[in-house]
Amino acid sequence: MPDTKSSASPPPGPASTQTILAFGSVGMPIAGLTLIILVYLPRHYVSLGVSLIAVAGAFSTVRLIDILFDPIVALLMDRTRTAIGRYRPWMLGGACIVMLGIYKLLMPVGPVDGEYLILWLVIAFCRSLHPQSRHRLVVGSPGDVIP
């Protein structure tokens, strides 16, 4: 009678506290940016003279762009092979782009309008166009490949 037992190794034990904290550490700054962008930024731009409808339209437009951008970034991340790993270049590059976008959103120079807001929201949300999306891609994906 053939052996019916699987030759697969048993699943690893629970993750250590250090591993859990390392994965979770990315979430705190992203939560702070999310709060600023989604709660305070619309009011800030309305106070700068942009209509509330234009602000809402800018956020909606960026979310629609996100529908196309997210899968493309995910595919590129999965196909990236570098000496520092698959996801670290995306974290490092994304952090620089996000900092520039957030700076331009919070410290606008000259007149601002809906187009200005859309441009810098897209750049600021380049971490997959929404703060939590990049966090899910970067933290969730390595969790699938790291034993």
State percent of the chain over pLDDT 90: 25
- What Rg value do the Cα atoms of the chain yield, rounded? 20
Residue 126 in contact with residue 101, Cβ under 8 Å? yes
State percent of the chain over pLDDT 70: 78
Confidence check: pLDDT of 56 > 50: yes
User: Measuring CA to CA, how many Å separate 80 from each of 84, 86, 91?
Assistant: 10, 5, 12
Q: What is the Cα–Cα distance from 41 to 140, expressed in whole angstroms?
A: 28
pLDDT of res. 28: 80
Q: What are phi and psi of 96, to 5 degrees?
A: -65, -45
> pTM of the prediction?
0.68
Q: What is the Cα–Cα distance from 8 to 47, expressed in whole angstroms?
A: 61
Higher pLDDT, 12 or 134: 12
Mean pLDDT of 134-145: 53
The lowest-confidence range among 34-38, 88-92, 135-139 is: 135-139
pLDDT of res. 108: 92
